[in-house]
Structures are given as C-alpha cells and as structure tokens.
Amino acid sequence: MDEKIIFAGFGGQGIMSMGLIMSYAGMMDGKNVSWLPSYGPEMRGGTANCHVTISDEPVGSPIINEATIVVAMNRPSLERFEKDLVAGGILLINSSLIDIGPQRSDIEVYRIPANDIANQMGNLKIANSIMVGALMSLKNIVSEDAVVNAFKKVFEGKEKLIPINIQAYNRGKESINSQFAVK
C-alpha cells in the first residue's frame, strides 16, 4: 500500500486535523507515515493543506506530487490540487462550498455536502470528520480501530469533542453509502 493524500481547504476547517487522524491511524496500524503541513502565512486564515503518506515502504519525499487521493474542502483547493491526482485517483469534494466540477475525467469524483451535514448535526466544525468518514468508506486505508484511537489522540485534552466527531465520521461513511457520487 502506498497512499498519498492531500487534504486542503481554508484555515479553520480542520484540515491539519484530518491529516493527523489519518497519520495517527496509519502509525497505529504499523504503517510508515508522514504528515507535512503547509506553514507560514497560509495557516493564518488563508488556504491550508497537508500532505499525508501512508505506506508499507519507508516514506521518501513527504511532498506529494502524485496524489492517490485529494480531499478538497473549498474551491481554491480543488483548483489547485486537482492536477496533482494520478489517473484513477480519488477526488473528494466538499459540495457545500464547491459549486464547480473538476476539469479532469480520468479520476473518481465524490461530492459530499460536508458543511450541510455538519450543520444538520449542529456543529459546523465537524465537517472535516465527515470527510474522513467518506474517505474511509471509499477505501480501507487504515483499520476502523485505528481511526477511533486516532480521534482520541488528536482530541487529547479536548475529550468532550470525541463523541461528536466519531458520530460525524460515521455520518460521513453513510453519506457515501447513500451514493450521490458521480464519476
């Protein structure tokens, strides 16, 4: 296995946490992982992204030039990272905030109205966990146990947020199963 995932959105959408959850889960499953954030002015309200590699082999460059998965949480992210997907790669679009489609036709595209679902659940901040759930239902990158433990790790010190995020994660999984994804 060699998954190269780019999570992207704007500051405050929990982009870094999405990457961390997958990285922790990968590590707990005994995989080689790396997590590389964008840093600098970008983190202060602008766009944010992180590159996550989960692999059976030691990780070479943590920079992802050929992503197997891109999770785009807002429109600039889609526009910026769509081109980095390999042919046949998976693109997850937060359709609540992105009203355009991808340019490419050689990739698998799934639209998840993450912000709408999050709003329904009464907490906009869990849109990221919804997307992680959607991603996991598409591809079993890491084990279910590891994801749950990763949530506990990422929310260390903010334990009261764990249940709602795991709930969101499960809703995200369902969102894919009640398929409105288009190819």
- Decide: helix, strand or coil at residue 25: helix
User: Least Å distance between CB 114 and other proteins?
Assistant: 24
Residues 6+ apart with CB under 8 A from 122: none
Given the complex with other proteins, which of 39 and 105 has the nearer CB atom? 39
Give the shortest CB-27-to-other proteins separation in angstroms: 5
Closest CA to 136 of 2, 8, 18: 18
Residue 39 burial by Cβ neighbours in a 10 Å radius (0-12, 13-18, 19+): exposed
Find the shortest distance in angstroms from Cβ 59 to other proteins.
Answer: 7
Please state the closest distance from residue 66 (CB atom) to other proteins, in A.
9
Give the Cα separation of 45 and 163 in Å (integer): 27
| Shortest CB 87 distance to other proteins, Å | 15
Element holding 76 (H helix, E strand): helix 75-81
Tokens of 1: 């296995």
User: Which DSSP symbol is given to 46?
Assistant: S
Comparing CB distances to other proteins, the nearer of 20 and 85 is 20
Q: Between residues 64 and 72, which has the closer beta carbon with respect to other proteins? A: 64
Q: Give Rg (Cα) of the chain.
A: 15
Q: Bridge-partner residues for 53, per DSSP?
A: 4, 34
Q: For other proteins, give the closer residue by CB, 46 or 120.
A: 46
Q: Which residues bind other proteins (CB under 8 A)?
A: 20, 23-24, 27, 32-37, 39-40, 58-63, 65, 153
| Closest CB 65 distance from other proteins, rounded Å | 5
Q: Which is nearer to other proteins, 149 or 167 (CB)?
A: 149
* Lookup result for tokens 């997590």: 35
Q: 95: closest CA among 114, 117, 119?
A: 114
